[in-house]
Structure 1
């Protein structure tokens, strides 16, 4: 999949979270830059019906705006739901090519993601986050060290906001992702 999407991977990603209202998620998705943004749809703890309904509402926004939409789960589920790709650790296969991402927090997980053939990784947490209060953070130096050794595009996640964009390029991120950094004020 890398060859197909290498130049077309979004540089800004909205990550969904149950803490954020549906209205705020839809409004934030609609503000992502046309043709340059992505949505990582998680909502792990939402009932299946409500999860699928919200996914389809975000998919409508994604289609209108030319956004990439990844579904946290299996490749089969992502293909069945019409996602552009899937986010997760399993080794499922889909009938059609899909972009694949994984969450990475350290060197061991980065190497595992590369061996699994992912197209990009969400490296986190760069900074402290509201979604994981009190959690351990990488900080700039550790993030940069991991990003320099990566063989796949690195998306910075964890306390990241628009004002960090320039700094992120300097520490090896090819893009950034956020929950609160993209939904606050919606």
Structure 2
């Protein structure tokens, strides 16, 4: 991991999702702890112009609150948009150092993230989640087995809420991320 990121790694991350209305997303971002939170801006299915406009609005909130902001996509696009990093499997290729995160769901994807030099991983799903109803979950034991093998910080994702923080440390997570668990008006905790 790049030294500049190690000491400033957020312990709480908001994952954006098209299911969440923009005003609710912005309000949720504004409630993240100042200087301690991060946002992974995804919005994969949003039209390009709308996606960029919403990213800019989220970036304004992130700047005011000193939040880390990652853009799902390429490192080159993240650098061009002014993000702190990029989330995904693609190649690096940015002129400035960016944080690189990847989603991991199993041992094969963990090895892929390690080979790609990811700075952190979002390991999921720990629990059942509304965004992927009926999907296979890792559960506590499966999550812990993968987290303890990881050579980088692990962020727990999938049905995670604020009340899980103590349990997550025991499972090997350095932080947690959520959509619904951090969305204002959807049972934040």
Same fold (TM over 0.5): yes
Shift of 1:4: 2.0
Residue in structure 1 matched with residue 16 of structure 2 by the alignment:
16
Q: Distance in 2 between matches of 1:162 and 1:169?
A: 12
Secondary structure (helix, strand or coil) at the match of 2:7 reads: coil
Aligned residues of 2:75 and 2:98 also touching (Cα < 8 A):
yes
Structure 1: gaps spanning 5 or more residues: none
Per-residue CA deviation, residues 149-183 of structure 1 (Å, 9 max, x unaligned), is 11000000001011111110110000000000000
Per-residue CA deviation, residues 97-136 of structure 1 (Å, 9 max, x unaligned), is 1000000001111111011111100000000011100000
Residue in structure 1 matched with residue 5 of structure 2 by the alignment:
5
Shift of 1:24: 0.7
Shift of 1:56: 0.4
Secondary structure (helix, strand or coil) at the match of 1:149 reads: coil
Q: Displaced runs of 4+ in structure 1, greater than 6 A?
A: none
Residue in structure 2 matched with residue 162 of structure 1 by the alignment:
162
Residue in structure 2 matched with residue 128 of structure 1 by the alignment:
128
Which residues of 2 match residues 71-90 of structure 1 at below 5 A? 71-90=71-90
Q: Distance in 1 between matches of 2:115 and 2:153?
A: 14
Q: Distance in 2 between matches of 1:108 and 1:122?
A: 14
Q: Distance in 1 between matches of 2:154 and 2:92?
A: 22
Per-residue CA deviation, residues 63-108 of structure 1 (Å, 9 max, x unaligned), is 0000000000000100000000000101131111100000000111
Q: Distance in 2 between matches of 1:115 and 1:8?
A: 23
Residue in structure 2 matched with residue 53 of structure 1 by the alignment:
53
Q: Distance in 2 between matches of 1:16 and 1:122?
A: 14
Which residues of 2 match residues 162-181 of structure 1 at below 5 A? 162-181=162-181
Structure 2: gaps spanning 5 or more residues: none
Aligned residues of 2:27 and 2:184 also touching (Cα < 8 A):
no
How many residues align structurally?
186
> When the two structures are superposed, what TM-score results if normalisation uses the length of structure 1?
0.98
